[in-house]
């Protein structure tokens, strides 16, 4: 008797277990394996498809005190819509809703009266308080749907660097410019449904393990310091207005590790409102996508190459004849005047084209080209921004002395602003080439974090060589730049201006009255915290960069010294 009871019990338990297994298996396939298909079928039964709340990782600025500040994040709210088929009194509903929203009465009544429709959108992206207040009224025919969307709390701040999200050709929403695009795989979310079914939630871990590769979802923490970024953008805006430049840009970087504190260009945009953009090119980042002939700020690199190669020393002299005839072309100093026998220092202090041409030709084509290519010119820098360009360096390998001479003072070779500051940072980093970067770390959704891994620095010049050039550039600031008026009593600053003719794409050659102005400097000169690069394209009614960019650079230098409380070095 007891044996039969035990047998029957076991059979019943086995049957229950079997049916439970069948049911769970079916749920697994319905909710997880075929969940998307069933979801699509279900949504077709609704007047308005069920909302899938948008979800995406955040991007953060970092203050000088290490505090994270949102640069791009998600905001939750509600959409308001009507079902005119079941609305009895449109005017009464309008009066009830008008205390919460500001909408045109005639338009509202017109939509509410279209009784042949079951869905009319009234207002998008209401804040949570307003949405919940309207929902609590429980008015028949008034619907509130939850929504999440991307916001950029700082509006225009670092807009070209942060980027935006948008739809691609396959109607997929994702990052389209800046960090939003570059770190799409980290910022995107594979599953953004807000109300996941219990069983789908139960099996989601299994599905990810069995059917998907591991997704490294997380947030991006940048080195962009919002106060410094704001300083830079305000100074660029003031400079652009004063000189009516076509465009302007700047970068502030730690020359020792490539960490970007600020980078900006104008014209720019507000990623929260793209409705007024007529030219989509404003969304791109010209600091990594556009290349320019930079002019005389390249002269210190030529000088460093000459010293490092042994072709010259800081005590060398040369006979400045005011002009040279090379391969049938004449190159001249900015004023065409000869200086006679003068030391190397005067090449940088007076920005003499003939002087750096002398240095480059004394080095020879092969040696000169080797050094300039070692600065990373002609290759991408590795900055974490999309669509980075290489610039144009083909004149480095033509073998003609005139090209080498013009390249030595920054004409006949084009570089992006990012390539330029990277190359110049060699002078501020004991001769080492770094990889510039905006992101510092990734904070993953599972609670772990990881610092961004960068290539090791590359030694391209001897420390002694760049120390010599730094001495020369400090002398430029102390004695030559604005005749020594900008010398800082307690700080050493190394800097150089650049003025380049702009190429004429229609008639060939160069415009006679259009220039690109550039400026770079680092400080404190012998243990630099920052390197700053500025440029603007075609400032009006002015020829030389010393007139347009010296004051903005000095203003930025003083702001950074005070903000970071950098101790004096002299």
Q: Which residues of 54-73 are buried (b: 16+ CB within 10 A; e: fewer)?
A: bebbbbbbbeeeeeebebbe
pLDDT value, residue 195:
40
Dist CA 336 CA 353 (whole Å):
10
Report the pLDDT value the prediction gives residue 208, as an integer from 0 to 100.
Answer: 41
Contacts of 25 (CB under 8 A, 6+ apart): none
Average of per-residue pLDDT across 2-29: 62
Look at residue 15 in the predicted model and tell me its pLDDT: 66
Q: How many residues in total does the chain contain?
A: 570
Three-state DSSP state, 71: strand
- pLDDT above 70 (res 32): no
Mean pLDDT over 107-111 rounds to 92
Name the pLDDT band for 41 (thresholds 50, 70, 90). very low
User: Which of 196, 194, 189, 197 shows the shortest CA–CA distance to 172?
Assistant: 189
Q: If we measure between CA atoms, which residue out of 438, 394, 413, 457 comes closest to residue 301? A: 413
What is the model's pLDDT at position 18?
63
- Strand pairing class (510-523; 530-537): antiparallel
Task: Round to whole Å and give the CA distance between 483 and 472.
Answer: 15
Model confidence band, residue 3 (pLDDT cutoffs 50, 70, 90): low
Q: Which CATH architecture group holds 226-563? A: 3-Layer(aba) Sandwich (3.40)
The pLDDT of 316-345, averaged and rounded, is: 94
Question: 32 by DSSP, 3-state: which?
Answer: helix
* Spatial separation of the C-alpha atoms in residues 221 and 548, rounded to whole Å: 34
pLDDT > 50? residue 197: no
* Mean pLDDT to the nearest integer, 182-208: 60
- What's the pLDDT at 43? 39
Asked whether 301 and 372 are in contact (CB, 8 A), the reply is: yes
pLDDT in tens, 370-396: 999 999 998 999 999 999 999 898 888
Region 38-59: mean pLDDT is 59
Label residue 471 by pLDDT band (50, 70, 90).
very high
Kindly report the three-state secondary structure assignment for every residue of 500-526.
EEEECCCCCCEEEEEEEEEEEEEECCC
Q: What is the pLDDT of residues 479-529, one digit of tens each?
A: 999 999 999 999 999 999 999 999 988 888 899 999 999 999 999 999 999
d(CA 442, CA 216): 9
Residue 434's closest CA among 503, 382, 506, 388? Answer: 382
Could you give the percent of the chain with pLDDT greater than 90? Answer: 76
Q: Structure tokens of 330? A: 């004449």
Of all helices (H) and strands (E), which one includes residue 124? Answer: strand 120-126
Tokens 């297994």 correspond to: 21
The answer to whether 256 and 434 are in contact (CB under 8 A) is: yes
Which among 312, 320, 294, 423 is positioned nearest to 364, based on CA atoms?
A: 312
**Which residues have a Cβ under 8 Å from the Cβ of 84 and sit 6 or more positions away?**
90, 111, 112, 113, 114, 115, 116, 117, 118, 120, 141
Tell me what the pLDDT averaged over the chain comes to.
89
CA distance 273 to 266: 17
Structure confidence at residue 169 (pLDDT): 80
**pLDDT tier for residue 213 given thresholds of 50, 70 and 90:** very low
DSSP strands (E only) in 165-259: 165-167, 173-175, 218-222, 247-253
Task: Give me the mean pLDDT over the 457-474 stretch.
Answer: 98
Indicate the range of 23-37, 264-278, 279-293, 498-512 predicted with least confidence.
23-37
pLDDT-above-70 percentage for the chain: 86
DSSP state of 144: E
The reported pLDDT for the residue numbered 167 is 86
- DSSP letters of 530-560? EEEEEEEE--TT---HHHHTHHHHHHHHHHH
pLDDT-derived band at 227, boundaries 50, 70, 90: very high
C-beta of residue 82 within 8 angstroms of C-beta of residue 64: no
Residue 521 · residue 557 · CB < 8 Å: yes
Categorize the per-residue pLDDT at 47 as very low, low, confident or very high, splitting at 50, 70 and 90.
Answer: very low
Residue range 333-345: mean pLDDT, rounded:
95
Mean pLDDT on 92-104: 92
Which of 34-38, 521-525, 530-534 bottoms out in mean pLDDT, i.e. has the lowest?
34-38
pLDDT at res. 170: 83
At 6, is the pLDDT very low, low, confident or very high (cuts 50, 70, 90)?
Answer: low
pLDDT for res 505: 87
Q: Which of 12-26, 256-270, 303-317, 350-364 is the least confident region?
A: 12-26
Please give the pLDDT value at position 369. 94
The pair of three-digit structure tokens given for residue 345, joined into one six-digit string: 């220092």
| pLDDT on residue 12 | 67
Tokens of 511: 């415009």
Three-state SS for 234? helix
Q: Give the pLDDT band of residue 309 (cuts 50, 70, 90).
A: very high
Q: Which tokens sit at 449?
A: 């974090």
- Write the pLDDT tens digit of every residue in 403-449: 999 999 999 999 999 999 999 999 999 999 999 999 999 999 999 99
pTM of the entire structure? Answer: 0.85
Q: For residue 80, which phi and psi values (nearest 5 degrees)?
A: -110, 130
Contact 347, 307 (CB under 8 A): no
Instruction: Please state the rounded mean pLDDT for residues 97-115.
Output: 91
SS3 131: helix
Written as six digits, the tokens of 306 are: 């000459």
Residues with Cβ within 8 Å of 104's Cβ and at least 6 positions away in sequence, in order, are none
User: What tokens appear for 497 in the block?
Assistant: 């201006």
Instruction: Domain ranges for the chain, please list them.
Output: 2-43, 226-563
Rounded to whole angstroms, the Cα distance separating 549 from 448 reads 44
Q: Where are the alpha helices (DSSP H) in 310-426?
A: 345-349, 353-363, 365-374, 401-408, 417-424
The pLDDT of residue 204: 44
pLDDT for residue 454: 92
């Amino acid at each position: 008797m007891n044996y039969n009871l035990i047998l029957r019990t076991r059979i019943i338990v086995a049957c229950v277990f079997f049916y439970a297994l069948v049911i769970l298996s079916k749920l697994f396939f319905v909710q997880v394996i075929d969940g998307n298909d069933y979801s699509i079928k279900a949504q077709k039964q609704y007047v308005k498809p069920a909302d899938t709340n948008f979800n995406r990782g955040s991007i953060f600025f970092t203050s000088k005190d290490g505090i994270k500040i949102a640069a791009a994040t998600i905001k939750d709210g509600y959409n308001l819509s009507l079902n005119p088929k079941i609305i009895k009194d449109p005017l009464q509903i309008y009066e009830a809703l008008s205390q919460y929203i500001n909408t045109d009465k005639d338009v509202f009544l017109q939509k509410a009266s279209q009784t042949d429709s079951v869905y009319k959108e009234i207002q998008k992206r209401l804040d949570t308080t307003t949405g919940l207040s309207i929902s609590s009224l429980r008015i028949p025919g008034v619907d509130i749907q939850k929504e999440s969307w991307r916001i950029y709390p700082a509006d225009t701040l670092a807009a070209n660097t942060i980027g935006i999200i948008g739809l691609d050709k396959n109607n997929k929403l994702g990052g389209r410019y800046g960090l939003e695009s570059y770190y799409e795989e980290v910022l995107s979310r594979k599953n953004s449904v807000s109300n996941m079914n219990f069983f789908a939630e139960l099996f989601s871990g299994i599905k990810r393990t069995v059917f998907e590769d591991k997704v490294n979802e997380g947030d991006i923490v940048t080195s962009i310091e919002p106060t410094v970024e704001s300083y830079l953008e305000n100074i660029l805006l003031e400079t652009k207005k004063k000189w009516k430049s076509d465009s302007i840009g700047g970068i502030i970087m730690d020359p020792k590790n490539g960490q970007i504190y600020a980078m900006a260009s104008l014209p720019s945009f507000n990623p929260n409102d793209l409705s007024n953009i007529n030219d989509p090119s404003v969304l791109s980042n010209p600091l990594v996508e556009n290349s320019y002939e930079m002019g005389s700020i390249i002269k210190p690199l030529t000088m460093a190459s000459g010293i490092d190669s042994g072709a010259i020393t800081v005590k060398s002299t040369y006979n400045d004849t005011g002009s040279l005839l090379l391969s049938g072309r004449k190159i001249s100093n900015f004023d065409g005047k000869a200086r006679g026998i003068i030391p190397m220092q005067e090449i940088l202090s007076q920005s003499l084209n003939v002087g750096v041409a002398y240095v480059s030709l004394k080095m020879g084509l092969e040696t000169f080209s080797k050094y300039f290519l070692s600065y990373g010119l002609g290759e991408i820098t590795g900055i974490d921004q999309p669509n980075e360009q290489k610039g144009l360096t083909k004149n480095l390998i033509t073998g003609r002395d005139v090209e080498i001479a013009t390249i030595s003072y920054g004409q006949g070779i084009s570089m992006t602003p990012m390539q330029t500051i990277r190359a110049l940072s060699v002078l501020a980093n004991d001769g080492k080439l770094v990889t510039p970067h905006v992101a510092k770390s990734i904070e993953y959704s599972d609670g772990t974090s990881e610092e961004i891994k960068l290539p090791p620095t590359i030694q391209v010049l001897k420390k002694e060589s760049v120390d010599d050039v730094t001495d020369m550039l400090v002398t430029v600031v102390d004695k030559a730049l604005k005749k020594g008026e900008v010398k800082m009593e307690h700080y050493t600053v190394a800097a150089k201006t650049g003025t380049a003719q702009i190429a004429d794409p229609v008639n060939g050659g160069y415009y006679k009255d259009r220039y690109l102005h550039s400026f770079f400097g680092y400080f404190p000169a012998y243990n630099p915290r920052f390197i700053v690069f500025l440029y603007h394209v075609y400032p009006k009614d002015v020829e030389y960069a010393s007139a347009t960019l010296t004051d903005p650079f000095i203003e930025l230098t003083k702001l950074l010294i005070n903000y970071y409380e950098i101790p004096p070095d002299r």
